[in-house]
Amino acid sequence: MDQQVIYLDHAATTPVRPEVLDAMQPYFAERYGNPSSLYGLAQEARDGVAEARERVAAVLNCRTSEVVFTGNGTESNNTALKGVASALRDRGRHIITSAIEHHSVLHPLEQLESDGFDVTVLPVDDGGRVDAAAAAAAVRKDTILVSVMLANNEVGTVQDIELISRLVKARSNELGGDVKVHSDAAQAAGKLPLDTKTLGVDLLSLTGHKIYAPKGVGVLFVRRGTPLEPLLSGGGQERQRRSGTENVPYIVAMGAALELAETEREEFVTRTGRLRDMIESSIQGRMPDTKINGDRNHRLPNITNLSFPGVQGEPVLLGLDFKSIAASSGSACSSASVEPSHVLMAMGLSEEMAVSSVRLSLGRESTESESQQVVSAIPEIVARLRAM
């Protein structure tokens, strides 16, 4: 490709950063032992996993024993939902979630419904926010789990998980229950604080490839004392919670990447927020009918979701790709579909406006020059499509 790609799809995935690649490299061919074995080579691998666990625990402000390494964010979410549901099914079968969750939450919950569980789906306002009081009001005596994402992958809206956790637990206690709270925080790492004590969650999911680690590694925080049936049984790794020989290089990468993301978080938030605001104001200045989707006061700094009335998002993306600009129409897991985003529809957008949306997500190497090129390209593409 002759022209350098301007990559604005960091909410879908990120490249592996050099420091992370350097950290994981020795565990492919030099420290390749199985961490479950007893000899010295195995100890090197075991030490790598232990150090990564300590790095993750430091960011999450939790015990190392509460960190479970998984294969990805989808596995983390499935393990949290199905694991708690299975462990607590004799106590209750009611689960609460929101209408804008990732499909790796919504689809497992659909499976649980077919297995006899009752799922309440909370609506969101036009910015994509869950009403914490409504979440608490939905709690019943048989409610065993509440799962609300920390930050949305399509529009960037951030939920007040601390308040939601506090209110639903208080309501559950009043009713004599003991609800557990899970949050999908895949998009939040490196952008928001992930102190699990402050958030008040019992389970929290992360994935590596959103923070410059490779695809194929994730984390599930499981607070001590939280009942959890494992999805995978076998060798008993991860304290019986996720069997399978540890993917040591990727686990090392996850620890390094999360530590770097947290160290650089404030600078990342300031820089990408400034670029995002410039993109939005410039595009709206040229096309005043552009709609910015998501809560303007509670959102990630690096995501903007824009709707352009009168055109569809897919042709806009193709026009951007022709100019070597990579963007998305929403969730990467459903980008091949022409169906309107369930997130935007839940926020009250019409089907026409929902399918006209484009998501731009900035990363650590995004520049002002690149952003200016995007600002120039989008109005030109939209105008041409409207003329057609």
Return the structure tokens found at 235: 């060798």
User: Which of 241-250 are b and which e, b meaning 16 or more Cβ less than 10 Å from the residue's Cβ?
Assistant: bbeeebbbbb
Other C-beta atoms closer than 10 Å to the C-beta of 4 total: 8
Length of the chain: 388
String of DSSP letters for 40-86:
HHHHHHHHHHHHHHHHHHHHHTS-GGGEEEESSHHHHHHHHHHHHHH
| Helix residue ranges per DSSP H, 115-191 | 132-137, 161-174
- What does the alpha-carbon distance between residue 156 and residue 184 come to, in Å, rounded to a whole number? 13
Q: At 7, which helix (H) or strand (E)?
A: strand 6-7
User: Which of 17-47 are b and which e, b meaning 16 or more Cβ less than 10 Å from the residue's Cβ?
Assistant: beebbebbebbeeebebebeeeeeebebbbe
Q: Specify the pairing of strand 218-222 against strand 203-207.
A: antiparallel
99 and 128 Cβ atoms separated by less than 8 Å: no
Question: Coil, strand, or helix at residue 272?
Answer: helix
Other C-beta atoms closer than 10 Å to the C-beta of 140 total: 17
250 and 208 Cβ atoms separated by less than 8 Å: yes
Given the residues 119, 121, 333, 383, select the one marked as catalytic.
333
- 333 classed as catalytic: yes
293 and 153 Cβ atoms separated by less than 8 Å: no
Residues classed as catalytic: 333
